[in-house]
Amino acid sequence: MLTAFLKGADLKFKNLGLLNLAFMHRSVSNESSHKANNERLEFLGDAILGAVAANLLYNLSDKREGDLARIKSVVVSEDVLSAVALELGLDSLLILGKGEELSGGRSKKAILADAMEALIGAIYLDSGYKGAFAFVSRFVSAEIDRVLENRHHLDYKSLLQEFCQRHYRAYPAYRLVDRSGPEHSRVFIMDVTVNGRVFGPAEGKNKKSAEREAAKLAYEALQS
């Protein structure tokens, strides 16, 4: 599977053990005597990803620091990384513990995004910064173009927070209204309060996604 992945992703690896480690979720080490997992690679990959994104954004000479920071937060976000991970087929390569497998870990954005960062860390260790830069710039450059053309996935939580700080000098307050469903298929219901007004409720498969949906409701209502 790793050989097929490398061919499809147009990557070369000298150390396949390092590549395999990038897909080893911590749930494996939590459930067995196998201690190794991808958390250290994820830490390294996060730093490399940020450096590459900053390097590419620096060349946008017509943008101010605040704009560059906003664009960077989008292009290295969990939504973007998890989407790229799915395109590359990382979901089928993940090595998960039994519990995480049963709870749908292969489709969780956070796990996919973490694996993507771990992969970047592994590429850096195997091929150096030049190899990591070439790989990361493939999807980051395309995502930067989407942001500049306003075709990107909107981060409604960030947009709502910026709106609240600008107009009310306050932060939105999220509240868990309810949760339902079995452990492997939970539904979370959240609302958000902005300047005394409550927006929602909104549903999601986890608290973060429910918060995003509530933020979307609030932001669109406040804009109109």
Specify the CATH number for the domain of residue 176: 3.30.160.20
Residues 204, 169: one domain?
yes
Do 67 and 132 have their domain in common? yes
Chain centroid offset of residue 56 CA? 19
Say whether both 19 and 80 belong to one domain.
Answer: yes
What is the value of pTM for the model shown? 0.70
Return the structure tokens found at 148: 């500049």
Q: Which of 42, 46, 100, 213 is catalytic?
A: 46
Q: What is the pLDDT of residues 142-183, one digit of tens each?
A: 889 888 877 666 678 888 888 898 899 999 999 999 998 887
- Looking at the fold, whether 136 and 167 belong to one and the same domain comes out as no
Same domain, 42 and 101: yes
The domain boundary residue, chosen from 148, 169, 189: 148
- Tens digits of residue pLDDT in 25-61: 999 887 777 678 999 999 999 999 999 999 999 988 7
117 catalytic residue (yes or no)? yes
CA atoms within 13 A on the CB side of 100: 20
Tokens in use for 167? 């107009």
CATH of the domain at 85: 1.10.1520.10
Q: Which domain holds residue 141?
A: 2-148
How many structural domains compose the chain?
A: 2
Among 42, 114, 117, 155, the one annotated catalytic: 117
Which tokens hold the place of 22? 């990038």
Contacts of 172 (CB under 8 A, 6+ apart): 160, 161, 164, 192, 193, 194, 215, 218
